[in-house]
Amino acid sequence: MRRRQLVLHALLALALLSALSVGLLSGGGVPVAAQDGPDATPTLPPPPLVELNEEIIKRATVLVMQTYQTRGQPVIACTGSGTLVSADGLILTNAHVALPSEMCRADQLVIAITVRLDEPPVPTYTAEIVNFSKGRDLAVLRINGYLDGRAIEPGTLQLPFVELGDSATVQLDETITVMGYPDFGNAPVAATRGTVSGFTAEARAGDRAWIRTAATIPGTMSGGGAYNRAGKLIGVPTIAPARAGGELVDCRVLQDTNGDGRADENDRCVPVGGFISALRPSRLARGLVRAATLGIRQGEDLTPPHAVPTEGAPIFSRLFFTTRVNEAGVPANVIGRVPTGTTSLYLFFDYDNMVDGMVYELRVTVDDVPRPEYGLPPTTWSGGKRGTWYIGRAGLPWENGVYHFRLFIEGREAAGRSIVIGGGPPTEPQFSDIVFGLLDENGNLVGTNYVLPEGSAIQARFNYLYMTPETTWSYIWYFEGQEVLRDTLAWAGDEQGVWVMPAGGDFYPGQYRLELYIEGTLSATADFVIAGGAEGYSSAIFSDFRFTDEQIEGVPTGAVRNDFPSEIPRLYVFFNWRLIAPGTLWTRRWLVDGDVLFEVTEPWDAESTGENYFVGLQSLQTLPDATYTFEIVIANVTQASVSAKVGLGQLPVEAFASAEGVLMTGRITDAETGQGIPGALFIVLQAEYSVEDFLWDRAQVLDASLADSQGYFRIARLLPRGTREEPLLYSVLVRAEGYLPLSADGIVVDTDTRSPVVINVALSRN
């Protein structure tokens, strides 16, 4: 009953705002005189966990529930936390929290919000999935209706929300606060404080693919938010439900799902993740949030995404360690041990038959003692079906000991490898830093990188150290995973230097690998791609880029241009290509005003040479004015970057609302009894209007709220701040049936005002 009442009051407040917006209250009611409310002065709350808007952050935290119907009753299939990132109801969470799956059978997303900070969340809304990345386990949802089935008109919600911060500036030992729900919705939103204990590297995301913390964070807070001291969201706490041997480790029975009158082991359970120690940085979610805010989605393309059939069991293989990874994601060396004081170590491995969204994990022991800070908790796979991957850590010393790394796929151990850290610097012979290139007319190696044109003059260059004459070394060349050439030689060079090795033979489009061995032990390896024809000493793969806003059966129609008028609903980019082998991994990106919106890495799935490949963007209404850039990347090398302008060529200043401001909350009570007054109306006027100016015009109202059953109210829209020199002054009006109205002018909000501003009002009866 209590929850129903709270939901009712929340809905009444929303109805009130809608009524004001269409003028239903215009001119109605008794004029309100300018009076000073006896208690209308701000009071300071206890010191917050973050410098600004702790209460706003808590109210912006939601509970996300995947549900389905059984015997006419809703059943919770999966649950997690989420964070409102816009006033109109965009929610950032984990993909596994929101996407239905074999583990989470569901047909509806229910959003529960915090009405009172000291009470459990109240199921209030439904939501839909707008954008998601299964691999990075991130999703953006949009609130689209009330739980009773009523739709929500776009732009009518005014919910508390937070802004994404710059996760790249997060420092080691920095204090962070994690917000989320500590259980399945039976407890209020909780805050957990901790510090940043390190960063975990991962292929395609760099050395800060994960922010690590030793804070104790329960698995139900997965999908919530991690905040810096400024109150900006810098990470999403993430953990996939753990498995052992393919079976869920922890799965809680919450409801009687089979109708036998008991909630026991025979009922469907809700999966739980373990304790969270890893945060996905907000930079990896920024594109999804920006796209959702702007109403932009990925549009049509020549080869729509499709599921790649699995040809066998997923496997990890060819594990080795390196101390350096270059900008192209290539290991600089292959090592069997590292000295004391090592600060960077990465585990590389090949993989096959993987699917984005699978759960994988890295467990690490040091001298047989589990050390989770060196590993990676259960999380979702993002590398696609086949390729080479790495996990590691840089920037912090690795302690001495015997390390054992074990990789798991869906809870089953897939591969392992050990390494010793300790002792002095190695002095044994070694190769490192392989690059590939072409010879110029003077015999110099030029155009060195990892994407080269078709031809037969490719050379490999690498560094060597501590080599002695007659040392046995060998090389092996691979093409598309198959060995094509090998030889074993006696070293005839100096002790250290740079060696250039001709490859010989013809190089056809596709994926290549070179392995270098010393005395039978792998010492260096690198992959490269052959694609396109020679253009100087670089590879020319993609050409003839054309932008248009229409296409018919894969052919551009209408004007081909780089400057479009405002309010077009979609945008296409067409291009030609040559000599790129099917299966070659490529990455395509859409950017808006220089910020990435979408990034997709997948195998090339068209003919090796052709025309009019196209990729599109589409809008729910019209594309906002901006500069849209399309990029193609292969082997971390940018192959093309082209741009087109829509309208003014720049996003409007107000495209992204600021979450900076002050929350206003409080309680409206009966002056005689001290009891709360349910349904009391609290109105805040725009800063430029006083109570005397108020004409019951919706344009004059900043926001309004109806008090709940205990008399508590909350103004959902944040009050913009003024400055110390020019503070903003707000006026408020309070009305309740059977009570004398109260009003007040001159409530100061400036840069020093601490949020929330608490206003308690006592009304006298007529």
pLDDT in tens, 411-461: 899 999 999 999 999 899 999 999 998 877 787 888 888 999 987 678 899
| Residue whose entry in the numeric block shows the structure tokens 């002018």 | 745
Q: What is residue 560's predicted lDDT score, i.e. its pLDDT? A: 92
pLDDT at 627: 96
499: buried, middle or exposed (CB in 10 Å: 19+, 13-18, 0-12)? middle
* pLDDT tens column, 522-545: 999 999 999 998 887 778 999 999
Lowest pLDDT segment from 193-207, 431-445, 724-738: 431-445
d(CA 463, CA 475): 14
Q: What is the pLDDT of residue 16?
A: 36
Q: How many CA atoms lie within 13 A of 428 on its CB side?
A: 13
179 contacts: CB under 8 Å, gap ≥ 6: 57, 58, 61, 81, 83, 189, 190, 191, 221, 224, 225, 226, 227
pLDDT confidence of residue 565: 95
pLDDT in tens, 691-720: 999 999 888 999 898 888 889 888 878 888
Contacts of 451 (CB under 8 A, 6+ apart): 528, 529, 531, 539, 541, 634, 635, 637, 639
User: Residue range 134-156: average pLDDT?
Assistant: 90
Angle at CA of residue 719, ends 714 and 721, nearest 5°: 150
Q: Which pLDDT value is given to residue 245?
A: 54
Reported as a single tens digit per residue, the pLDDT across 638-692 is 999 999 999 999 998 767 767 777 888 899 999 999 999 999 999 999 999 999 9
Please report which confidence band the pLDDT of residue 469 belongs to, taking 50, 70 and 90 as the band edges: very high
Does residue 249 carry a pLDDT above 60? Answer: no
Mean pLDDT of the chain: 85
Which whole number is the average pLDDT over 461-484?
Answer: 94
SS3 readout for 335-402: ECEECCCCCEEEEEEEEECCCCCCEEEEEEEECCEECHHHCEEEEECCCCCCEEEEEEEECCCCCCEE
How many CB atoms lie under 10 A from the CB of residue 519?
Answer: 11
Tokens of 279: 């945060």
Residues 6+ apart with CB under 8 A from 762: 38, 39, 669, 670, 671, 674
Sheet containing strand 510-518, strands side by side: 451-452, 521-530, 510-518, 472-479, 482-490
Rg of the chain over Cα atoms, rounded to whole angstroms, equals: 30
> Residue 360: pLDDT above 60?
yes
Q: Angle CA(79)–CA(80)–CA(82) in degrees, nearest 5?
A: 135
Q: What confidence category does residue 568 fall into, taking pLDDT thresholds of 50, 70 and 90?
A: very high
Eight-class DSSP state of 309: P
**CB-based contacts of 291, cutoff 8 Å, min separation 6:** 131, 140, 297, 597, 598
The Cα 126–Cα 106 span in angstroms is: 13
> What is the value of pTM for the model shown?
0.82
pLDDT at residue 73, as a whole number = 78
Q: Could you give the CA distance from residue 712 to residue 114 in angstroms, rounded to a whole number?
A: 13
Winning range, highest mean pLDDT, from 216-225, 308-317, 520-529: 520-529
pLDDT higher than 70, residue 244: no
**For residues 275-293, average pLDDT:** 92
Percentage of the chain modeled with pLDDT above 70: 87
pLDDT at 46 over 50: no
What is the structure's pLDDT at 4? Answer: 34
Pair 515, 476: CB distance under 8 Å: yes
- Cβ burial of 181 (10 Å; 0-12, 13-18, 19+) is buried
Average pLDDT over residues 121-148: 93
Q: How many helices (H) and strands (E) does the chain have?
A: 4, 54
Q: Report, as an integer, the average pLDDT of 295-320.
A: 81
Percentage of the chain surpassing pLDDT 90?
59
Neighbour tally for 673: CB within 10 Å: 10
Enumerate the H helices of 51-135 as residue ranges.
54-59, 95-98
Residue 250's pLDDT is what?
60
Q: Is 638 helix (H, G, I), strand (E, B) or coil?
A: strand
What is the structure's pLDDT at 456?
A: 67
